[in-house]
């Protein structure tokens, strides 16, 4: 679904110099995969996600989405940002329906479909509230409904739950997995499914950026570790072979999970130490 | 809330009582400062006879026209310049220069250009309202949250939809917050314009009174003006509270 080929990104700095955030990143994410990207703070994870979203172009290298070179905003993806991105002046229902409204869906139909989604995320009673009247967890649920209602192939997520308290966060992770696992069949092996670029028939492709390895391993099929910035590259790439559906509350204490955690953490730890050395001179 | 109101009324009453007492005790000369009782009598006389309503209507008409025209121009230009940083940079020194011109100096010019009728006053109000609206719109559009813009883009918004769903509402919050200021400026423009040359309006009433050393008339005119502004402001506050109801819970 997503192919990055030697993607680099350099930013100009205020003093006239340049800062290389990403250095020749290459990987492919198959359709229907839940892929997590982890790395220490400042490693360019968000930059990478913004490039996949088409919000910023790569300085060099190629990015293909669904087989086509990406130019401009990625129309096959939606994006859950770290910060709140609900429109504060629209009520919950209008926020959920926003993607439909923008696509020209009639108001009555857009509202009906938004109501159905609000029921799914348990916020029917709050549909006429404004975002400022909701808790952080509720706002995230509204955001999930807003992203899911227009049913794009790809969902990009940039540390979406990092601002929540630990319990709310675990609940949101479970809800996310619930939505995703029930959104279609996992891609099966076989000739028809080896073409990465065919349009999605089952689950969304999720790219989930986080600095929390535990969260990454609990949610994803695959974890890509980025090195400390500047000039981040891919350090390693791990498959998370834990069966689905997953029980997030029990998962973290299971031996298989802990072994995997140790393996990936060995890669990540070095990068975290490097980034801390960088930050403290 | 009622405690604040009680104190507000008390404060006003105390000042008026002190003033009245000062005049009666011959500490203040009523020729210069008049007297609350006399001013109240004059206001009552004006409202009873109905003489003041026609003047008030003219002043309000000028202020509202000034507010609307100044608003449309200011919001329009604010939007254009906020969306084009090239145009903004080109226009920047001129806007600063124009904003630095004292409006009173313009009044005689406007009288010359637009005559003694309402339009010279409207023009003066426009020059005051325009800049408030312009700066607030410009700020509001420039300040629109980057994440909101990116999110709406990702959800499929075209440039026009981006303007409609994010930039306009974002600017409106700034514009509404400045509506009180704009309204005050519109009234100031209308009254100053009338004061400097007209045959109708509150400014005319005040200037006529001044011409005959009728301080009671001057204070009565100022009082009517103040009451009107307070009433209109209260209305604006209610509209503002409704339109910005999403802001806090």
Pick among 3.40.50.300, 3.40.1710.10, 3.20.20.70, 2.60.40.730: CATH of A2-76+155-279? 3.40.50.300
Which pLDDT does position A58 carry in this prediction? 94
Contact check, Cβ <8 Å, B154/A77: yes
Which structural domain range is residue B101 located in? Answer: 35-243
3-state secondary structure B114-150: HCCCHHHHHHHHHHHHHHHHHHHHHHHHHCCCHHHHH
Per-residue pLDDT, averaged over A126-155, amounts to: 93
Per-residue pLDDT, averaged over A2-21, amounts to: 91
Of B147, B155, B158, the CB nearest to A99: B155
Please tell me the distance from the alpha carbon of residue A228 to that of residue A233, in angstroms, as a whole number.
8
pLDDT(A149) > 90: yes
At residue A208, φ and ψ (nearest 5 deg) are: -120, 110
Query: What does each of the 249 residues of chain B score in pLDDT, given as a tens digit?
Result: 789 999 999 999 999 999 999 999 999 898 999 999 999 999 999 999 988 999 999 999 999 999 999 999 999 999 999 989 899 999 999 999 999 998 888 888 999 999 889 999 999 999 999 999 999 999 999 989 999 999 999 999 999 999 999 999 999 888 888 888 899 999 999 999 999 888 899 999 999 999 999 999 999 999 999 999 999 999 988 988 888 888 875
Residues B5 and B126 in one domain: no
Tokens 């999403």 sit at which residue?
B246
| Residue B215 forms part of a structural domain | yes
| Six-digit token string for B107 | 């009044």
| Six-digit token string for B235 | 């209305």
Which pLDDT does position A189 carry in this prediction? 43
| Residue B248 forms part of a structural domain | no
Contact check, Cβ <8 Å, B150/A85: yes
Supply the ipTM of this predicted assembly: 0.88
Residues B101 and B191 in one domain: yes
Please tell me the distance from the alpha carbon of residue B228 to that of residue B237, in angstroms, as a whole number.
14
Residues of B with CB below 8 A from A133's CB? 249
Residues B143 and B26 in one domain: no
Residue A43: pLDDT band with limits 50, 70, 90: confident
Residues B109 and B208 in one domain: yes
Please tell me the distance from the alpha carbon of residue B222 to that of residue B202, in angstroms, as a whole number.
8
Number of folded domains that form chain B: 2
Residues B6 and B49 in one domain: no
| Six-digit token string for A249 | 């509350």
Please count the other Cβ atoms lying within 10 Å of the Cβ belonging to residue B176.
Answer: 18
For chain A, the residues whose C-beta falls within 8 A of a C-beta of chain B are: 53, 55, 73-75, 77-79, 81, 83-85, 87-91, 98-99, 102-103, 130-133, 146, 150
Which pLDDT does position B88 carry in this prediction? 92
Please tell me the distance from the alpha carbon of residue A140 to that of residue A240, in angstroms, as a whole number.
26
Chain A, nearest residue to B146 by Cα: A85
Per-residue pLDDT, averaged over A37-63, amounts to: 92
Of A79, A91, A103, the CB nearest to B151: A79
Residues A227 and A19 sit within 8 Å (Cβ to Cβ): no
Contact check, Cβ <8 Å, A81/B151: yes
Could you tell me the pTM of the whole model? 0.82
Please tell me the distance from the alpha carbon of residue B74 to that of residue B175, in angstroms, as a whole number.
10
The residue extents of the domains of chain A are 2-76+155-279, 86-151
Contact check, Cβ <8 Å, A78/B150: no
- Among residues B103, B21, B27, the alpha carbon closest in space to that of B70 is found at B103
Residues A162 and A210 sit within 8 Å (Cβ to Cβ): yes
| Residue B149 forms part of a structural domain | yes
| Residue B249 forms part of a structural domain | no
Which CATH number fits the domain that encloses residue B176?
1.10.3720.10
For chain B, the residues whose C-beta falls within 8 A of a C-beta of chain A are: 147-148, 150-158, 161, 165-166, 169, 173, 245-249
CA end-to-end span of chain B = 19
As beta bridge partners, residue A132 has none
Residues A30 and A1 sit within 8 Å (Cβ to Cβ): yes
pLDDT(A27) > 70: yes
């Amino acid at each position: 679904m997503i192919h990055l080929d030697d993607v680099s990104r350099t930013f100009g700095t205020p003093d006239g110099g340049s800062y290389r955030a990403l250095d020749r990143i290459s990987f492919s994410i198959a359709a229907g995969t839940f892929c997590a990207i982890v790395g220490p703070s400042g490693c360019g994870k968000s930059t990478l996600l913004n490039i996949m979203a088409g919000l910023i172009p790569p300085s060099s290298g190629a990015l293909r989405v669904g087989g086509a070179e990406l130019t401009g905003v990625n129309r096959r993806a939606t994006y859950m940002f770290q910060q709140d991105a609900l429109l504060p002046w629209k009520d919950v229902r209008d926020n959920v329906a926003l993607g439909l409204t923008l696509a020209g869906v009639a108001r009555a139909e857009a509202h009906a479909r938004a109501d159905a989604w609000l029921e799914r995320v348990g916020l029917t009673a709050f549909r006429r509230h404004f975002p400022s009247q909701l808790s952080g967890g509720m706002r995230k649920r509204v955001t999930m409904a807003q992203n899911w209602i227009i049913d794009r192939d790809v969902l990009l997520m940039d540390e979406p739950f990092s601002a929540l308290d630990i319990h709310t966060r675990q609940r949101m992770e479970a809800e996310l997995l619930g939505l995703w696992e029930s959104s279609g069949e996992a891609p099966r092996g076989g000739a028809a499914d080896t073409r990465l670029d065919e349009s999605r028939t089952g689950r969304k492709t999720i790219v989930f950026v986080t600095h929390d390895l535990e969260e990454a391993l609990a949610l994803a099929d695959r974890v890509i570790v980025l090195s400390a910035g500047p000039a981040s590259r891919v350090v390693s790439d791990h498959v998370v072979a834990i069966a689905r559906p997953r029980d997030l509350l029990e998962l973290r204490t299971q031996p298989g999970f802990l072994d995997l955690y140790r393996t990936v953490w060995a890669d990540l730890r070095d990068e975290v130490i490097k980034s801390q050395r960088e930050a403290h001179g | 809330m009622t405690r604040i109101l009680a104190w507000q009324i008390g404060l006003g009453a105390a000042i008026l009582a002190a003033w009245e007492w000062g005049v009666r005790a011959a500490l203040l000369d009523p020729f210069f400062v008049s007297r609350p009782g006399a001013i109240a009598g004059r206001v009552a006389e004006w409202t009873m006879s109905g003489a003041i309503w026609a003047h008030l209507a003219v002043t309000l008409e000028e202020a509202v026209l000034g507010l609307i025209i100044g608003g449309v121009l200011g919001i329009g230009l604010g939007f254009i310049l906020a969306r084009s940083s090239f145009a903004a940079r080109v226009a920047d020194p001129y806007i600063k220069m124009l904003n630095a011109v004292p409006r009173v100096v313009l009044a005689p010019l406007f009288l010359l250009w637009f005559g003694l009728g309402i339009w010279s006053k409207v023009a003066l109000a426009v020059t005051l309202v325009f800049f408030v609206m312009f700066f607030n719109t410009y700020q509001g559009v420039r300040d629109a949250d980057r994440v909101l813009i990116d999110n709406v883009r990702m959800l499929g918004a075209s440039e026009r939809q981006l303007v409609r769903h994010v930039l306009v509402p974002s600017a409106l919050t700034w514009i509404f917050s400045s509506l009180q200021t704009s309204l005050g400026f519109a009234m100031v423009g209308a009254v100053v314009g009338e004061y400097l040359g007209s045959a109708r309006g509150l400014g005319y009433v005040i200037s006529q009174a001044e011409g005959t050393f009728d301080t009671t008339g001057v204070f009565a005119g100022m009082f009517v003006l103040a009451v009107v502004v307070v009433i209109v402001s209260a209305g604006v506050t209610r509209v503002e509270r409704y339109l910005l109801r999403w802001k806090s819970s």
